[in-house]
Amino acid sequence: MSNEIFVRNPHSIFQALKSRPKDVLEITLPREKQDDVWEGIEALAERNKVRVNQPGGASMVRSQVKPQGRGQGRNQKGPQPAMGRESGHGASIRPKLGISLEEMFKGISDSSRGVWLALDCLQDPQNLGAIFRSAAFFGVKGIIMTTERSAPMTATVYDISSGGVEAVPMVQTINLKQALDKAKEAGLWILGTSEHAKESLHKVAKDRPWLVVLGNEEKGIRRLTEEACDVMCSIPPKGEGVTSLNVSVATGVLLSHLS
């Protein structure tokens, strides 16, 4: 993954400034601040001494530390606007770092409540971003993601999440089966999801901590992942003609029921 991404959603930028301002490297303001959140971004940037480029290419240096050069500006002296972005607005930020499984599952007891998510090879960054947004909205405790055959944490994910990436702890793992085993050891119950499952979501008990597993957009949950689940459930359709939901939409339904 690149050590820098360019994020355009002002809500994502604002949340990054709130939670980890040192990782926000540079901000370019829009010519017209149609969203009030840009005022908050500018104020937070000034408070945290983050470089701000004004509309039209002018920049205000609020930090004594010069950011790493980009492109043709690498060897030039003084503050330089982001090359190739003069007509755009947004922020250059470092990607958020994940945590360990031990940190994510710390402090869980028999009386714990809450929902965690595990994503089994999701490949669409827009789905991933939408899931982070729903997860933040419903107060999900953490998200586990596979590193192979999965969408990377690109700027698209940050933008679509509208700040959700900053609000939810995440773990990236090579072996999801081992992660699920550790979740069980910590006291979580594993709830798999599939349109073919016989058990309805509406029959799933809410009085326990659940780790909900969501599968790939086309193939669903892998066989070994399904075998690690304590329960498999589906969201029963109420209409005719459509029997399944987009994975990010299904996530919202699941979280609404379990939260």
Report the CATH number that the domain containing residue 230 is assigned in CATH. 3.40.1280.10
Distance in angstroms (rounded) separating the CA atoms of residues 10 and 2:
21
Residues across the chain: 259
Residues 36 and 144 reside in one and the same domain: no
Residues 89 and 107 reside in one and the same domain: no
Residue 137 confidence (pLDDT) above 50: yes
Number of other residues whose CB lies within 10 A of the CB of residue 249: 15
Could you give the number of structural domains in the chain?
A: 2
Range of the domain at 109: 101-258
Residues 178 and 205 reside in one and the same domain: yes
Residues 140 and 222 reside in one and the same domain: yes
Residues 24 and 85 reside in one and the same domain: yes
Show Cβ contacts of residue 28 under 8 Å, excluding neighbours closer than 6 positions.
Answer: 52, 53, 55, 81, 82, 85, 88, 89, 90, 91
Residues 165 and 242 reside in one and the same domain: yes
Which of 93, 124, 146 delimits the end of a domain? Answer: 93
Judge residue 133's burial from the number of C-beta atoms within 10 Å of its C-beta, 0-12 exposed, 13-18 middle, 19 or more buried. buried
Residue matched to tokens 């994940």:
98
Main-chain phi, psi angles of 212, to 5 degrees = -95, 125
Distance in angstroms (rounded) separating the CA atoms of residues 180 and 22:
33
User: What value does the mean pLDDT take over residues 47-69?
Assistant: 62
DSSP 199: S
Residues 143 and 209 reside in one and the same domain: yes
Report the CATH number that the domain containing residue 87 is assigned in CATH. 3.30.1330
Residues 236 and 154 reside in one and the same domain: yes
User: What value does the mean pLDDT take over residues 115-123?
Assistant: 96
- Give the model confidence (pLDDT) of 144-165 as tens digits: 999 988 999 999 999 999 999 9
Residue 212 confidence (pLDDT) above 80: yes
- Residue 159 and residue 8 in contact, taking contact as beta carbons nearer than 8 Å: yes
User: Which is it for strands 90-93 and 5-7: parallel, antiparallel or unpaired?
Assistant: antiparallel
Average pLDDT, the chain: 87
- Give the model confidence (pLDDT) of 68-117 as tens digits: 333 333 333 333 333 334 448 999 999 999 999 999 999 887 667 899 99
Which of 93, 109, 139 delimits the end of a domain? Answer: 93
Residues 163 and 40 reside in one and the same domain: no
- Residue 190 and residue 211 in contact, taking contact as beta carbons nearer than 8 Å: yes
Residues 13 and 75 reside in one and the same domain: yes
The C-alpha torsion from 173 through 129 and 7 to 143, rounded to 10°, is -40
Residues 105 and 159 reside in one and the same domain: yes
Residues 54 and 110 reside in one and the same domain: no
b/e burial code for range 189-202 (CB count within 10 A of at least 16 → b): bbbbbbeebeeebe
